[in-house]
Chain A
Amino acid sequence: MIGGFIVLVVTIYIVRLFVLQVGDSTYKANADSNAFVDRTIYPSRGLIYDRNDSLIVYNQPAYDLVMIPKDVQPFDTLDLCRTLKISREAFEMRLEKMKKSRNYSGYTQQVFMNHISAQDYGRLQEKLYRFPGFYIVQRILRQYNYNAGANVLGDIREVNTNDIDRDDYYKPGDYTGDLGIEKSYEKWLRGVKGKEVLIRDAFGKIKGHYNDGASDVAPVAGNDLHLSIDIELQALGERIMRGKVGAIVCIEPKTGEILALVSSPSYDPSLLIGNERGKNYAHLVRNPMKPLFDRSIMADYPPGSTFKPSQGLIFLHEGIVNLSTAYPCHRGFISGGLRVGCHGHGSPIPLKPAIQTSCNAYFCWGLKHMLDSRSKYGTTAKAFEVWKHHMVSMGYGYKLGVDMPGESRGFIPNAAFYDKIHGEGKWVANSIISDAIGQGEILATPLQIANLSATIANRGYYITPHVVRNIAGVGVLKKSIERHDPTIDKRYYIPIVEGMRMAVTGGTCRGANIPGLDVCGKTGTAQNPHGRDHSVFMGFAPMDDPKIAVCVYVENAGFGATFGVPIGAVMIEKYLNGHLSPAREAVASRMAATSTYSAKAYGSGKKKLANASKDTQVSDEQKTTSQQSEENGTTN
């Protein structure tokens, strides 16, 4: 009986042991969370250099005060408040705010206060033992050597809930790239987090490294980026664009490397560091000039006359014209009651002089003949599709694939688009004739215009434009940087180049005629519904061995020759000669001092841009959708 009793008891206990030890795994997890503290060691974020190995972006340490709520034990709140120099109310508010966060958990590290100053950090560090459950985490803030290139570089911000849901890498309080290459190269820049597994006793005291540190993982620093951007050229571009809205894109034609990617107005990248970021960011978002909107790759502009060389290429390739074909221009294109104005020059006029003088009539006639060529294409629509196909092959209408977030695709209409507007088969060449001169429905980003310039400079090909030349330790991302050969036969580029050279020597671009640099160019004066014409310039130099292709786009600045050309010339001379001649320096200073800010365009809200700059990603999608739904208003 007594023996039976103890046998029964022992049996019950063995069953209980089995249930606890074999049946239920929650105890194991409990034990681990009891005893082990995983402390993250943050890697150093990759540095960013320009094409001449000048350091542009580097790191500085910052300190965050974090807490693990479940480990917090009663402490002297006032002492902590004094140390952090915050009021009791602010303390409660922070706690409240932290608890409301969707990622809040009592068992994980929560950021209580970030970016603690070095002095506060020092004092806090000494007292930290008095605040069990609070820890200091060292993080990285960015620091900038130049007040330039903010749109290219982007910035870093604390991750939000979406980031955390999307990528396991992130934990609350981490940082991620927000705009520019900080965003697009986040994966390389951020590095690999390390961790130390610490052993913690029941009193919350850290007893050392688990397994003598054998379980610790050292962090791997992020990869440094070497940009193709020439930071001095970039800074110059931003300087001369002061007071103007627009963009400058400079590309090395042979490599597709972007030398400068200016969006104006620009802002100081240092504004978006640390504790000041929130305030300054909101400021930038509210700014009606939308400085966060990177016009060089996001803005859809009518390319205006810079579009004409591409038209010449298509007409030549399709056999619509040859070099001696001449079209009449009596101060404009006059056909079937339609008139597209032009300015005074000889008539009739063949291709090269037409480029030189930027004759509207010539290109309108060319497109009209092409679209009306029933014998060759059957219908207008089929002819237009051929035209569109060529345009797309030259990099228009789709994203070029630059290694930056938020690139716009511009807009090249297709036949279906016009079928929808005018009715199927109910439109003819005259309905859409302004497409020929880069107006009408045509939209392009400054990057696409510069890319056309690079394509012509290369006599028939382009390399995907990109800003990151080399990722240290990884190399070039070959997959995303490819050579593209447009559908135009290479020999037709020669006359186009010659026409563009003539425009500089004796045409619309004379202001870009820099001795010894053999600049080729094409102006554009793009009509738009927002006020004065946009001033555009597209060019490259030197003619025979092009080293730089440029697009300058200045909103509401009038003729291409007044702003586009001189600014383009400054960029070309600076890059090719390494310095500006005194005369050019004077031009640059004059440009920098001139404002073309249009109250009409930015005073009361230009809907598209206003929507766009809140969040580049969203705006890009919005635009794409609006283009796909073909509700995009015509621009003339």
Chain B
Amino acid sequence: MELRTDRNEGGTLLKSVDWLTILIYAILIVAGAVSIYAATYNFDKASMFDFSGFSGKQFLWAFLSFGIGLSLLLIDRRMYEAYAYPIYGAMILLLIVTIFVAPDIKGSRSWLVFGPVSLQPAEFAKFATALALAKLFSTYGFQLNSWKNYAIAVGIIVLPILCIILEKETGSALVYTSLIFVLYREGMSGFVLFAALCAITYFVLVLKYASVLLLGIPMGMALVFIIVMVLTVAMLLFYCRSLIVARNVLLAYVAGGLLVWGLTYWGIQVNGYLFFGLMIGGTIIYLLYAMLHDDVRRILITIGFIASSVIFVFLVDMAFNNILQEHQQKRIAVVLGIQDDPRGVGYNVNQSKIAIGSGGITGKGFLNGTQTKLKYVPEQHTDFIFCTIGEEQGFVGSTLVLLAFLALILRVIVIAERQHTAFGRVYAYCVASYLIFHLSINVGMVLGLCPVIGIPLPFFSYGGSSLWGFTFLLFILLRIDADRAAYGSW
């Protein structure tokens, strides 16, 4: 019915919509539902489309999401632009309401229950936040050049984060931090992004390897020092373009490293604090000297990076050991998945690695996975769905899935860059950022590379909210993209 009434508009829409994205979307969504069938396959029950089973429901959600996608495509782009703030406001309101009305499900209060159907507003707040951010950046004259503007942009991002944290759904809240990529694309200094990545890495390393010793100091700290040393050389080389200084520092590091290795080999214990102190302290002194003939500002920034890294590491270490109580330390360690806890969080990751590792090159075949079927991997149809693919489809299948995601993300970035308006571009980058975060964290967690943060794998993990949330994100993008020509003449 709708199609017929909008025939004219539909005609151009069919030509201008990005079919490649829809294709990848369709592939992922079908593969996802089939994976859920495999993950929840019970030896006695069979039908893939039985609506009482997980896969049946997922097929229903998937079918409905095509309808939703189609509807979203039919809504004029101006509507999204015009109602961006109201939508955002409504969503924030919904998130806040949810905090109070949602029942406690496994410790989280993020689900709105309507009879048999439950919805997670946090998933839908994603597209609303993206719209709001896009709207903000498309405001005439808006630039990331003042504290005030920064504050507004960050405020738009932080507001849903706060709400979702209050819903005790930390994983979903963290997703919004990925919008830092958007800020970076829209003019935020790369240093902020760089510093953020460094801070996260340091934090995790220091805490994860706090109890193992290397050269008499906690290994996490030693690893951070080594990273700082590598990054110093890289900064000198690519940022300061001080080739000679970079070479000298590198030679000093290599010589120092060899010396320590040799001494340890001959049985002489080297004090790690002393070694790294000498290395890094020496570097700073040498760089102060290097300022005499090289770019002062850039070298100062490099020194600042080194100094703040070291200070940060000690702060984290001190805060963790001296300020926090033991049970608090433990909780942080467990939440981050860095404490060895094979019966708790560690159990998931361990079983997940076993399941994936047992897949081999081509996998055990559809429905032949034993680890996932026999419920060795918890949350196998939701957060750990990638295990099923790993076990049953093997290296080939899981690589193909990763490549499909990569293709989708790169396609979204391509779409972003071909937008003529800040609105379209910012919105598209929001979509790309969400996808990047979900993919990296979810797959990284399943592969045992990232802390266990409970967020779904888009299109694969069981659940209508997540699927519809991403459907909203993608199809609004497709509609905005389809209309880009109309706005391109500006």
Judge whether B374 is part of the interface by a CB distance below 8 angstroms.
yes
* Contact between chains at A17 and B447 (CB < 8 Å): yes
* Contact between chains at A31 and B357 (CB < 8 Å): yes
Can you list, as one digit per residue, whether each of A2-21 has a CB less than 8 Å from chain B (1) or not (0)? 11011101101110111011
Candidates A2, A200, A203, A207; contact of B184 at CB < 8 Å: A2
Residues of A within 8 A of B375 (CB): 201-203
CA distance A208 to B378 in the complex (A): 21
* Contact between chains at B361 and A22 (CB < 8 Å): yes
CA distance A36 to B354 in the complex (A): 14
Candidates A10, A30, A203; contact of B406 at CB < 8 Å: A10
Judge whether B37 is part of the interface by a CB distance below 8 angstroms.
no
Judge whether B418 is part of the interface by a CB distance below 8 angstroms.
no
Q: Which among B356, B357, B433 has the greatest number of chain A C-beta atoms within 10 A? A: B357
Judge whether A96 is part of the interface by a CB distance below 8 angstroms.
no
Q: Residue on A with the closest CB to B449?
A: A16
Stretch from B202-210, B268-276, B286-294, B435-443 contacting the other chain: B435-443
Q: Residue on A with the closest CB to B399?
A: A14
Chain B contact-residue range equals 35 or more
- How many residues of chain A get a CB closer than 8 Å to chain B's CBs? 34
Judge whether A199 is part of the interface by a CB distance below 8 angstroms.
yes
Judge whether B409 is part of the interface by a CB distance below 8 angstroms.
yes
Q: Residue on B with the closest CB to A9?
A: B440
* Contact between chains at B371 and A31 (CB < 8 Å): yes
Residues of B within 8 A of A7 (CB): 406, 410
* Contact between chains at A207 and B43 (CB < 8 Å): yes
Can you list, as one digit per residue, whether each of B347-361 has a CB less than 8 Å from chain A (1) or not (0)? 000010111111111
* Contact between chains at A17 and B398 (CB < 8 Å): yes
Judge whether B395 is part of the interface by a CB distance below 8 angstroms.
yes
Q: Nearest-CB distance from B431 to chain A (Å)?
A: 12
* Contact between chains at A17 and B436 (CB < 8 Å): no
Q: Nearest-CB distance from A595 to chain B (Å)?
A: 68
Residues of B within 8 A of A10 (CB): 402-403, 405-406, 439
Residues of B within 8 A of A14 (CB): 399, 402
- Known A21-B357, A202-B375; contact A2-B403, beta-carbon cutoff 8 A: no
Candidates A1, A17, A35, A208; contact of B376 at CB < 8 Å: A35
Judge whether B157 is part of the interface by a CB distance below 8 angstroms.
no
Judge whether B390 is part of the interface by a CB distance below 8 angstroms.
yes
* Contact between chains at B374 and A35 (CB < 8 Å): yes
Candidates B374, B406, B409; contact of A199 at CB < 8 Å: B374
* Contact between chains at B356 and A21 (CB < 8 Å): yes
Judge whether B444 is part of the interface by a CB distance below 8 angstroms.
yes
Judge whether B339 is part of the interface by a CB distance below 8 angstroms.
no
Q: Assuming A30-B354, A199-B374, what are 20 further A-B pairs, CB within 8 angstroms?
A: A3-B410, A3-B413, A5-B181, A6-B432, A6-B440, A9-B444, A16-B447, A16-B449, A17-B399, A22-B360, A22-B361, A27-B353, A27-B354, A27-B357, A27-B358, A30-B358, A31-B354, A31-B357, A32-B358, A34-B376
> Using a CB–CB distance below 8 Å, which chain B residues touch chain A?
43, 181, 184-185, 190, 351, 353-361, 370-371, 374-376, 378, 390-391, 394-395, 398-399, 402-403, 405-406, 409-410, 413, 429, 432-433, 436, 439-440, 443-444, 447, 449
- For the complex of A and B, the 3 pairs showing the least CB-CB separation, nearest first, are A27-B357, A31-B358, A35-B370
Q: Give me 24 A-to-B residue pairs in the complex whose CB atoms sit less than 8 angstroms apart, sorted by A's number.
A: A3-B409, A9-B439, A9-B444, A13-B402, A13-B444, A16-B447, A17-B398, A17-B447, A18-B395, A21-B359, A21-B360, A21-B395, A22-B361, A26-B357, A27-B358, A30-B354, A30-B358, A31-B354, A31-B358, A34-B354, A34-B370, A200-B374, A202-B374, A208-B43
> Using a CB–CB distance below 8 Å, which chain A residues touch chain B?
1-3, 5-7, 9-10, 12-14, 16-18, 20-22, 24, 26-28, 30-32, 34-36, 199-203, 207-208
